[in-house]
Structure 1
Amino acid sequence: MSEGYSIRKTVLGDRDALTNLCMRSKQSNGYDDAFMAQCADELRVRDEWITRDAFWLAETGEGKPVGCIRLSVEEDGMTGELATCFVDPDWQGRRVGKVLFDVLYAEARTRGLVRIGLDADPFAEPFYARMGFQITGRSPSGSIPGRTLARMELVLDTETD
C-alpha cells in the first residue's frame, strides 16, 4: 500500500506485538521507566479491542508492526473515539500515521460518524492538530493521578462525494 509497509485489520494474534508497539512508541517521547510502569495497563492491548473495534495495523513485509490505530464508536452511533494511535519510533515521519488516519476517516464516513474525539498525549497534540483535531478541553489521565490531557475533537464533513 505504502512505502515498505501495508495496512490490515488486526487479529487476536497481534495483541502482544501491538502492546509492545504502543509501549515503545509512548516511551520514545522521553518518558522514564517509572512513568511507563504507571501507563502499562492502560496501553496493554485487549482482545475485546481487536474483536469489537475497528483496529488496524501497519506492518512491514516481514510482519514487523510499525503503526496502529483504533476507532471505537460511542453508543449514540454518531461519535467515534480515537482510542489507540501509535507509530514505531523508527517509522515516525514516514507518513505511517497519515495513512492510518486515511483508513480511519474512511471507516468513520462508512459508519456515518459526525465527530471523532481523543485524549492527546502532549507530544502527540501537534500531529493531531495537523490531522484536523482541535482542543475542546482537558481530560483526566487514565493512568497518572492529577495529570490531564488535551481533549481534542474533529468534526467530520458529512457531505457525500
Structure 2
Amino acid sequence: MPETFTIRRAELADRDALTDLCMRSKQSNGYDDAFMAMCAEELAVRDSWILDNDFWLAETETGAPVGCIRLSVAEDGVTGELETCFVDPDWQGRQVGRTLFEVFLLRSRELNLTRIGLDADPFAEPFYGHMGFQTIGRTPSGSIPGRSLPRMELTL
C-alpha cells in the first residue's frame, strides 16, 4: 500500500526539516550547487514565518515532511502572498502540492482575501498556472542579481 500524507500547521520544531525540504525541492529543478548556495539564505525557513504566517506542511505517517506552503497577509488585510511552496522530489506527482494548495485557498477565503500574488520559480510557473494564477509581469530575484522571476496573481 502506498504511503499517505496528512496536512498540519508547521511548528517551530519543524524549521530545519522544512529548510532541508525547500532546498531539496528547489535543487530538483536542475540547479547546481553554486546557484543553491546563492539561494540558501532566502530559502531558510525562519521562526517568524511559522509564528506570524499561515504555514502548513504535508507529512508522512512517520512524520517526514514531504511538502509545505505558506500564506502571508498584506497590511491591507485583503491581499495575500504565496511565500513558500515546495514538494519533496520523491513526492511530486502524488497530489501533495494540490492538497496543500486546497488548504491554502480555503484559508485565503476564510480571511476574505481578494487576491494572492507570488514570485514563481520559472520551473513552477506551469503548476501555478494550472492552479489558476496568471503571469502579470516579472520581478527581481531576491537572491540572484540580474535574474528575474515570473510575477503571478490569482483573483479569488
TM-score range, shorter chain: over 0.9
2-side partners of 1:145 and 1:79: how far apart? 27
1-side partners of 2:122 and 2:10: how far apart? 27
2-side partners of 1:10 and 1:99: how far apart? 15
Letter in 1 for 2:89: P
1:66-120 C-alpha deviation (Å, 9 max, x unpaired): 0000000000000000000000000000110000000000000000000000001
> Structure 1 unaligned runs (5+)?
157-161
Determine helix, strand or coil for the equivalent of 1:151: strand
Letter in 1 for 2:124: A
Letter in 1 for 2:82: L
TM-score normalised by structure 2 residue count: 0.98
1-side partners of 2:120 and 2:102: how far apart? 19
The answer for the alignment partner of 1:10 in structure 2 is 10
Q: CA deviation at 1:52?
A: 0.2
Q: CA deviation at 1:25?
A: 0.0
2-side partners of 1:44 and 1:99: how far apart? 23
TM-score normalised by structure 1 residue count: 0.95
The answer for the alignment partner of 1:56 in structure 2 is 56
2-side partners of 1:104 and 1:50: how far apart? 14
Q: CA deviation at 1:45?
A: 0.1
1:5-55 C-alpha deviation (Å, 9 max, x unpaired): 000000000000000000000000000000000000000000000000000
Aligned residues: 154
The answer for the alignment partner of 2:94 in structure 1 is 94
Letter in 1 for 2:51: T
Determine helix, strand or coil for the equivalent of 2:138: strand
Runs (4 or more) in structure 1 with deviation over 3 Å come to none
1-side partners of 2:101 and 2:30: how far apart? 24
1-side partners of 2:124 and 2:92: how far apart? 11
The answer for the alignment partner of 1:126 in structure 2 is 126
Give % identity.
Answer: 72
Determine helix, strand or coil for the equivalent of 1:31: coil
2-side partners of 1:101 and 1:30: how far apart? 24
Letter in 1 for 2:35: F
The answer for the alignment partner of 2:46 in structure 1 is 46
- Match runs of 1:9-88 below 5 Å: 9-88=9-88
